[in-house]
Amino acid sequence: MYESANVSDDADRTAFRRAEKKYKLYYEKDSKFSRRKKLPKPIDLSELLDFKLISQDFNNNGVLPDGIRVSKVDSSPVFCIENRPGFYFIPGALSLEEQCKWIKESLTNFPQPPNRTNHNAIYGPIADLFDSAKDNKVLVQEDLTNNKWKFYEEDDIAKAKQSSCKSVSASVLLRKLRWSTLGLQFDWSKRNYDVSLPHNNIPDALCQLAKTHAAIAMPDGEEFRPEGAIVNYFGIGDTLGGHLDDMEADWSKPIVSMSLGCKAIFLLGGKSKDDPPHAMYLRSGDVVLMAGEARECFHGVPRIFTDEKNAEIGALESELSHESGHFFTEYIKTSRININIRQVF
């Protein structure tokens, strides 16, 4: 589902695809500069829903835009889109402390075996990836026959590495981390949950947080049961193409989606990609719920903003740096993390 910023354009086949192309990151063409120095092409963001501003206007004046309604007003209002029943948006639902906690967990504990990541297919289970990247270690293929890999200090590589063995730095692997799975493990090759795979339960604190936010979208008298989660990691230029989350048994139960890190654009389409999607900002700390009919709607992320002006994570960077030091902060400056928690059965 991930694409890079250099993927060639397809034909404008559907309304959803046209919106993806409209908001995707493209660079000004200038052969004199590398991509890092190129300026992003300007885009028109005037049609995006901004639930942070909507919330401020509602709190100050009781005013809502056409087509938007409030489902619940507590410390954080919950907004809905009238023509997308089952979709709920909770702006700023997570405190800075909570955001820092789940960023750290997403980078340190969530990719740990037996949880699976996108790296499993090539390298097998990788333990302690974040700490190894922080320590400038290198992953070396020790056993070609059994595809066994091990982290080494840079100074020890020459002694450990045979001429035919491959190696890759931990920092490169961390930047290429695209997903990890918690609880019941999702098999991406078969697009289903494989209950035979070893797994740990989702952490209790994350379960409780998901239950709290899911309550408004649950059928009467039922409690959300977090059984599986997929954590997505986005870097510069990454996108998540339009898709459905349709592998869970009961679509009346919500997916609870938590945004962390750089601001993104989220597209919420309809049951066909021919339906024009709603485009909206997702900021760090926002929570989105999709239940019932909304589970049948195509959705995706065509862009994240990693420049200082638009990422809107200054307060998060300051808090994270104060709590946990430089390495977490450097990662999140150009990254977005999304935790999607599901009731599988």
Kindly give the residue spans of alpha helices, DSSP state H, lying in 50-118. 51-61, 96-108
Angle, CA of 319, 98 and 65, to the nearest 5°: 100
Strand order in the sheet with 179-183: 68-73, 77-81, 87-90, 287-290, 255-261, 336-342, 228-234, 179-183
Q: Which two tokens stand for residue 23?
A: 């908001």
Do the beta carbons of residue 240 and residue 317 sit within 8 Å?
no
Annotated binding site for Fe cation: 243, 245, 299
Query: CA separation (Å) from 306 to 121, 127, 152?
Result: 29, 28, 31
- Measured CA to CA, the distance from residue 145 to residue 120 in angstroms comes to 16
Which of 237, 245, 244 has its CA nearest to residue 262?
Answer: 237
Residue listed under structure tokens 């750290």: 104
Beta strands in the chain (DSSP E): 2-3, 68-73, 77-81, 87-90, 138-143, 148-152, 167-169, 179-183, 186-187, 192-193, 228-234, 239-243, 255-261, 264-268, 278-282, 287-290, 299-304, 336-342
φ, ψ for residue 207, nearest 5 deg: -60, -45
319/307 Cα distance (integer angstroms)? 19
In sequence order, the 6+-apart residues with CB closer than 8 A to the CB of 49 are 65, 68, 81, 278, 279, 280, 281
* Spatial distance between the Cα atoms of 16 and 253, rounded to a whole number of angstroms: 25
